[in-house]
Amino acid sequence: MKTSVAMDFVLLAALWGASFLLMKMGAAEFGPFVTAFLRVFLASLFLLPLLLWQQQIPALRAKLGPILMVGVLNSGLPFALYCFAVLHINTGLSAILNATVPLWGALVAWVWLRDRPNGSRIMGLMIGFVGVAALAWDKASFSGADPLSGLAVLACLTATLLYGIAASFTKKYLDGTPAMANAAGSQIGGSLVLLLPALMTVPAKMPSFNAWTAIILLAFFCTAMAYILFFRLITRMGPARTVTVTFLIPVFGVAYGSVLLDEALSLSMLVFGAVIVLGTALATGVLRVPWAASSGTLHKNSKQRTPH
């Protein structure tokens, strides 16, 4: 991997890892829906001039309906779910659960696109979901100190399932659509689906300067800039290798939460997080078990998405 590509790769993981921390800071004062709306709306304001500069408005117009739907599935709803989740579980746990995106992507592609995985990848799916079940069982609760922590874990997993659906939807309906049209248009779609819930939950008290700062950083760096990096990496190193950024995101997410929010890092998070990453590595084909290999490929050339 060339130095410039490696720097983009690490920077993307660092930006998406920081999104969990910034969502928590913003949602604590703005609420989940307003935080998610401002994230996609401000990101779209940044991306639209780039769309005009690259003369991709016709590409956006040609596929407007599917692109807006991707925005709902890949930005609007998942961001709102994560904004709710980080108010009830720590950011490190939410970042670890985000590593299940390729697992859901593989499963959805298998069911919807008939993109059957080989034996090694099926093993990865099984290992990954065992890790998820164990981690959720250990951390989720519908009683105790925070009775909503169980719903928060379910919200994270629902968000990652939506990312997986968005990946197959993109492959089926938007294959060949220019990257910037997808990136900018999807943020518009996310803004539209979140507009009404955001208007209904506007905070009565003006949020603090720190909360506004978190929102602006989240929108411009963790969303707009991250999308640009993501699609640039797909072009330079291919979707199959780009999706491995999922493995690095939890490292940054856990580190930010531990250092900046003094969040506890438990042994179960480390162990089950490692199991999830192992399963994801097998499910995406990064790791292979020779004796388990058989016919079938999975997402070798698909544009799988892993935003957070």
Q: Give the number of residues written for the chain.
A: 308
DSSP state string for 65-130: HHHHHHHIIIIIHHHHHHHHHTTTS-HHHHHHHHTTHHHHHHHHHHHHS-----HHHHHHHHHHHH
Q: Which two tokens stand for residue 172?
A: 């089926």
Cα–Cα distance for residue pair 102/246, rounded to 1 Å: 8
pLDDT by residue, tens only, the chain of 308 residues: 677 888 998 999 999 999 999 999 999 999 999 999 999 999 999 999 999 999 999 999 999 999 999 999 999 999 999 999 999 999 999 999 998 888 888 889 889 988 887 888 888 888 988 988 888 777 766 666 678 888 999 999 999 999 989 988 988 998 888 889 999 999 999 999 999 999 999 999 999 999 999 999 999 999 999 988 888 887 787 666 777 788 889 889 989 998 998 888 788 888 988 998 888 888 877 777 776 555 444 444 444 456 66
Predicted pLDDT at 60: 95
Predicted pLDDT at 240: 63
In the chain, domain spans: 3-292
| Contact status, residue 196 vs residue 138, Cβ threshold 8 Å | no
Model pLDDT for residues 53-87, shown as the tens digit of each residue: 999 999 999 999 999 999 999 999 999 999 999 99
Q: Which two tokens stand for residue 293?
A: 């290999």
Cα–Cα distance for residue pair 253/200, rounded to 1 Å: 30
Cα–Cα distance for residue pair 69/166, rounded to 1 Å: 9
Global pTM reads: 0.88
In SS3 terms, 120-167 reads as: HHHHHHHHHHHHHHHHHHHHCCCCCCCCCHHHHHHHHHHHHHHHHHHH
